Amino acid sequence: MKKVAFYTLGCKLNFAESSSIARSLESMGFVRAEFQDQPDLFVINTCSVTEQADKKCKKVVREAKKVNSNSTVVIIGCYAQLKPEEISAIPGVDLVLGANEKFQLPTLLPPYLNRESADLPKLIASEIRYDLDYHASYSVNDRTRTFLKVQDGCDYPCSYCTIPLARGQSRSDTIEKVLGIIEEIAAKGVKEIVLTGVNIGDFGIQNGKRVETFFQLVQAIEEKSSIQRFRISSIEPNLLTSEMIAFLGSSTKFVPHFHIPLQSGSNSVLRLMKRRYQRELYVDRVTSIKEVMPNACIGVDVIVGHPGETPELFLETYEFLNGLDISYLHVFPYSERPNTYAVDIKPKVDGMQKAERSKMLHILSDKKRRAFYESQSGLKGQVLFEESATPGTMEGFSENYVRVVVPFDPLQINTVQQVRYKSLNEAGEMLGVVLE
């Protein structure tokens, strides 16, 4: 039996798609292997959000060939769609598949497993404007929770972003099919599903027309699914309605954990970014969440160093975030991407300034996370224990995304237990005790 190893860069959506493609290869007789197990086939699922993601792809190819010089190397993902010719020129790459073609890997692959097939094309990628198919995907056994893709593509032309160029127009599965996949996942013993997509709040577009909404999907999951816990991976603030927040506040299945991209706390920079809201709307969303879910965890995406972000405008962002009732930040230094609007925006921010701003926000994030954790001390929560950590302990996340450490009990792995939170350890994790 041939062995295949996947190396996935980037977002939860990529992990869901890698897992689904891996299962399709199993029907060809492949077995999953680790990167160092000398697999016959390497599949590298790429990201291209930043320049670093591009560089990582090239490094992974080099390492794959060191592990097994006779292996077949296939590149898929956003970088493969955006710069297929560039990737096909990397020494050691045998096949590059575009956004739609990656799901055809089991059909396209067999000739490339023959190392003597030198005349085969290295590149099979259609233009993204033709990529209107939707391919359902979910991860199983790759991580402790399951990531379920319900939406793909994006119709928002943010100035810094290449995702519409890499993944095409917004499109979705149907609610009926999503519910069917959820039950398929439930049969595998999964306790928590993370709903994911490129622009998940835009769920409901099929064949170019809106026929359903994300709120309708949430309501259907609440009513009909048998899985115990659901998280929403990330949702745009303008698509998270007050009606939805109120519903989620009374939900028995959706947990009080939100990840809401902000990108900038300056209205001037938000306009340069072509975002579809101003910071006042963001404040309203955070306030609404905390009114109905006081212990909710709220994560925030922020980009620093976008062209046009002066020191004064960055301080607007810093002060805005410092005064906001949020729990943690994901900070991204701006990375210039070809064919985006931001390329032509002036003035540019140099690398040193971006690094300084990023450091300031990372420190602020640590402060926010610690304050949020400390606010939970003495309270009770429902924790899904997913893994063994250091000897004698196990870890898991509460419904509101507090990482909790308790004494190890093998019978409690992959179960949800009620825990009382005690105090933080040196690593900033919450120590707890399982309640009988």
Range with lowest mean pLDDT among 4-13, 47-56, 217-226 = 47-56
Instruction: Please compute the mean of the pLDDT values over residues 172-201 and round it to a whole number.
Output: 94
> In this model, does residue 436 exceed pLDDT 90?
no
What is residue 328's DSSP assignment? E
CA separation for the pair 332, 69 (Å, rounded):
35
Q: What's residue 47's pLDDT? A: 85
By the 8 A CB rule, do 132 and 168 touch? yes
Residue 389's pLDDT band, with cuts at 50, 70 and 90, is: low
For 175-191, what is the mean pLDDT?
Answer: 94
User: If you ran DSSP here, which 8-state letter would residue 31 be given?
Assistant: E
Residue written as tokens 């099929």? Answer: 206
H helical segments located in 89-174: 105-108, 163-167
In the prediction, which pLDDT does 166 show?
85
The total of other beta-carbon atoms located within 10 Å of residue 29's CB is 8
**Res 32: pLDDT:** 92
Dist. CA 78–CA 413, nearest whole Å = 35
Indicate the pLDDT class of residue 147, thresholds 50, 70 and 90. Answer: very high
Q: Is the pLDDT of residue 55 over 60?
A: yes
Residue 263 contacts residue 275 (beta carbons within 8 Å): yes
> What is the average pLDDT score of the chain?
92
Please state, for a pLDDT cut of 90, what percent of the chain lies above it.
71
Rg value, the chain, Cα: 22
Work out the average pLDDT over 6-30. 89
Determine the pLDDT at residue 112: 84
Residues 150, 148: Cα–Cα separation, whole Å? 6
Are 211 and 246 within 8 A, CB to CB? no
pLDDT band at 281 (very low <50, low <70, confident <90, very high): very high
Say if pTM beats, i.e. exceeds, 0.85.
yes
Assign 56 a pLDDT band (cuts: 50, 70, 90): confident
- 51 pLDDT exceeds 80? no
Query: Residue 352 — very low, low, confident or very high, per pLDDT cuts 50/70/90?
Result: very high
Per residue in 68-124, pLDDT (tens digit) is 988 999 999 888 888 888 888 888 899 999 888 899 999 988 888 865 556 677 888
- Taking a C-beta distance cutoff of 8 angstroms, is the pair 78, 10 a contact? yes
Cite the beta strand spans of 156-222 per DSSP E: 171-172, 192-196, 205-206, 209-210
Both tokens of 123, joined, read 């590149």
Lowest-pLDDT choice from 99-108, 226-235, 268-277, 321-330: 99-108
CA 86 to chain centre: 25
CA distance 140 to 343: 39
Rounded mean pLDDT, 351-362 = 97
| Per-residue pLDDT at 53 | 67
In the chain, what percentage of residues exceed pLDDT 70? Answer: 96
Q: Exposed (0-12), middle (13-18) or buried (19+): which is 107, by Cβ within 10 Å?
A: exposed
Q: Are strands 380-388 and 415-424 parallel, antiparallel or unpaired?
A: antiparallel
pLDDT of residue 142: 54
Residue 346, pLDDT > 90, answer yes
Does the pLDDT value for residue 127 go beyond 90?
no
Assess whether pLDDT exceeds 60 at residue 143: no
Residues in the chain: 436
